[in-house]
């Protein structure tokens, strides 16, 4: 009686396990649809390629190992009371399954190293520097009027400053197709400047001068948010990102300065 009872029981368990894993896989497939980030910068596109490569390898490893596990559970389930052959190990196998992962690791590392170098390559002439000040609990984006990229007037003085408030998320406006440097500064605690569709974030650390350069390739409205716990209203350190054409950008600048090149500090609206 015990054996058949056990068998039924095993079969039911395996069935359940298969169903569960199947459900898991379908969540995975469904996920391809829900809002995955849209890489809008050169750098983000490279990161996405690396992500896909990593995902592929991960999928192969996952399917191989999980598959072997499920196969073993079905194939080698207990059928009788006989003691199976008592194998203790195999040096050859140990080398194989140390060696193959090492090769995978080398491949993954090499590719990620190349992407890392590209993403962090700031050698390209950066046309414009935007100063990002993180504070508890919002952001301030500052543009120097003499450093506004291709159409900038080097003799201009003053700045545009957009400050977020608890009630209003600030909007960060940047022109498309131009390298832009972000300079991240904080005077209180650590924040993190994160824009999902850049696939990138960099911490805003008091006492450090962190910078990065991106070139946006798609116009549109995006969003960003502080990604480092910074206290009470960390969740509310949100901001908007607007990638616009050069013309629209110049227009926006003119609007901010009242067209006379004077310094303008504006609260978000």
By CB under 6 A, name the binding residues for ligand HEA: 61, 65, 101, 104-105
Region from 87-95, 120-128, 173-181, 221-229 binding ligand CUA, contact rule CB under 6 A: 221-229
Q: Are 173 and 158 in contact (CB under 8 A)?
A: no
- Cβ nearer to another protein, comparing 78 with 267: 78
- Please give the residues from 126 up to 145 whose contact with ligand CUA meets the rule CB under 6 A: 134
Q: Which of 41, 43, 191, 214 binds ligand CUA (CB under 6 A)?
A: 191
230 binding ligand CUA? (CB under 6 A): yes
Q: What distance in Å separates the CA atoms of residue 239 and residue 224, rounded to the nearest whole number?
A: 5
Nearest Cα to 170, choosing from 122, 237, 97?
A: 237
Instruction: Write out the two tokens for 97.
Output: 């399954």
Binder of ligand CUA out of 40, 228, 244, 264 (CB under 6 A) = 228
Is there a contact between 261 and 145 (Cβ–Cβ < 8 Å)? yes
**Residue nearest ligand HEA, Cβ-based:** 101
Nearer to ligand HEA, 73 or 104 (CB): 104
DSSP bridge pairs for 203: 192
Within positions 35 to 64, which residues make up the interface with another protein, using CB under 8 A?
A: 35-37, 46-47, 50-51, 54-55, 58, 61-62
Q: Is 115 in the site for ligand CUA (CB under 6 A)?
A: no
N-to-C CA span, the chain: 76
Q: From 125-133, 153-161, 195-203, 259-267, give the range in contact with another protein by CB under 8 A.
A: 195-203
Closest approach, Cβ 197 to another protein, in A, equals 8
Peptide bond into 137 cis (omega under 30): yes
Q: CB under 8 A: which stretch of 6-14, 146-154, 173-181, 244-252 binds another protein?
A: 6-14
Smallest distance from the beta carbon of 148 to another protein, in angstroms? 25
Stretch that binds ligand CUA, among 33-41, 51-59, 215-223, 225-233 (CB under 6 A): 225-233
Residue 15 makes contact with another protein by CB under 8 A: no
Number of residues that bind another protein (CB under 8 A): 91
| Candidates 73-81, 112-120, 230-238, 244-252; binding stretch for ligand CUA (CB under 6 A) | 230-238
Are 37 and 225 in contact by the 8 Å Cβ rule? The answer is: no
Is 166 near another protein (CB under 8 A)? no
Q: Taking CB under 8 A as the rule, which mask of x and - marks residues 70-89 in contact with another protein?
A: --xx--xxxxx-xxxxxxxx
With beta carbons less than 8 A apart as the criterion, state whether 193 and 208 touch: no
Which ranges in 121-169 belong to alpha helices (H)?
A: none
Residue 4 lies near another protein (rule: CB under 8 A): no
What is the 8-class DSSP label of residue 228? S
* Phi, psi (rounded to 5 degrees) for 184: -105, 125
**Cβ-based burial of 224 (10 A; exposed 0-12, middle 13-18, buried ≥19):** buried
Element (H, E) at 145: strand 138-148
Instruction: For residues 226 and 139, give the distance between their C-alpha atoms in angstroms, rounded to a whole number.
Output: 9
């Amino acid at each position: 009686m015990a054996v058949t009872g056990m068998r039924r029981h095993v079969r039911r368990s395996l069935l359940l396990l298969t169903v569960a894993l199947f459900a898991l896989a379908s969540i995975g497939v469904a996920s391809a649809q829900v809002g995955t980030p849209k890489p809008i910068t050169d750098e983000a596109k490279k990161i996405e390629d690396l992500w896909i490569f990593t995902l592929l390898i991960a999928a192969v490893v996952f399917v191989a190992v999980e598959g072997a596990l499920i196969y073993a559970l079905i194939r080698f389930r207990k059928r009788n009371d006989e003691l199976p052959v008592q194998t203790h190990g195999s040096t050859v196998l140990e080398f194989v399954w140390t060696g193959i992962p090492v090769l995978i690791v080398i491949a993954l590392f090499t590719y990620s190293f190349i992407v890392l170098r590209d993403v962090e390559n700031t050698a390209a002439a950066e046309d414009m520097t935007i100063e990002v000040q993180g504070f508890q609990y919002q952001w301030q984006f500052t543009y120097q009027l003499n450093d506004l990229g291709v159409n900038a007037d080097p003799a201009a003085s003053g700045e545009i400053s957009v400050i977020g408030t608890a009630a209003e998320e600030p909007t960060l406006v940047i022109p498309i197709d131009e390298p832009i440097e972000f300079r991240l500064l904080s005077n209180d605690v650590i924040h993190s400047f994160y824009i999902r569709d850049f696939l990138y974030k960099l911490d805003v650390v008091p006492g450090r001068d962190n910078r990065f350069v991106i070139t946006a390739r798609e116009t549109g409205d995006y969003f960003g948010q502080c990604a480092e716990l910074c206290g009470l209203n960390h969740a509310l350190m949100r901001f908007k990102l607007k990638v616009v054409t050069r013309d629209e950008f110049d227009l926006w600048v003119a609007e901010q300065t009242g067209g006379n090149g004077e310094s303008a500090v504006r609260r978000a609206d």
